Amino acid sequence: MEIKLYPDKILRQKCLPISREELSDWREFINKMVESVEKDPGAAGLAAPQIGLSKQIAVVSFGSQTYVLINPKIVGRSREKSIEEEGCLSLPGLFLPVKRAKEVKVVFWDQDGQEQKIAAKGFLARAVQHEIDHLAGKLFIDRLGFWQKIKVKKILKKFLGK
């Protein structure tokens, strides 16, 4: 699957939800997303806009578990935060410290349209938040502090070859 790279406009779009009726239309697409994430040892997740589809579908792989998140919503997050380095397939080679909640509770549909809930901690919580941000048209660079953003502008100019 071809990954859309920053500054592709689709990465900034809010994705549309999927209805249960149209879920079967996306099954093959979802299977390809899962396969893509599971094949790439460097990928913790993938969101539909990263491959050109503005729909609320994300896949997160953690350990031996792969989660398909359809229409996910964060319904709770810890007050406790952590700052860890993040990267993104749409910004290859760029790794920056990002502040996120240490724990989140998420409701979503699985690929069969069944409502699921997870309470994610640590790396899984970070990956889920990262992918859900993609569905809202946000990138991890949007979560940086003011001075970090100033530095990143210079880095992004090099990244874009400008």
The yes-or-no answer on residue 86 being catalytic is no
Q: Which of 38, 80, 115, 131 is catalytic?
A: 131
DSSP β-bridge partners for residue 82: 100
CA 97 centroid distance within chain: 16
Between the CA of residue 7 and those of 15, 28, 160, what are the distances in Å? 17, 27, 8
Catalytically active residues are 131
